[in-house]
Amino acid sequence: MIAPDTQQNILYTLYFILIHNFEAMLYVVGIFSMTLWALYRPTRGKIIIMWGFVILLFSFEYSKHILEPLKEQTIQSLITERESIRIEYYITKILTRVVPFGLPILGWMLIGIGAFFDRIYAYVRNIWLHRD
């Protein structure tokens, strides 16, 4: 039998793991469901939506785990001999502001575009094939 405090600690650990990774789990569910749906009935829009979820998952992992080590590694590899405040400023701005802001926007844009892509593609194709 497990002691009551150990049971409680196990439940708290599982709870905090779920809370910490909830967003990532939703994106993984989106990736798997779109993959299965695309295997069942393939369309270009479903593939675009799947890539949107992949980019959102990467954005989540980038912000949580990749950002700081990548920033430090890039600064150390580019600034070797003498200190360059300008290079460090641009690296910091790009890796900590632009990329974390742009990746979720790109992911959600792909999901939005993918949702309507097949209708738009069919409409444009129909116009293109039936023009005089």
Report whether pLDDT(81) > 90.
no
What is residue 30's predicted lDDT score, i.e. its pLDDT?
A: 97
Report whether pLDDT(132) > 80.
no
What is residue 130's predicted lDDT score, i.e. its pLDDT?
A: 79
Report whether pLDDT(113) > 80.
yes
Strand (E) or helix (H) holding 45: helix 44-61
Give the residue numbers spanning the domain of 122.
4-129
> How many domains does the chain divide into?
1
Instruction: Tell me the average pLDDT across 57-63.
Output: 96
In one-letter notation, the amino acid at residue 10 is: I
Question: Which residues are CB-contacts of 43 (< 8 A; sequence separation ≥ 6)?
Answer: 117, 118
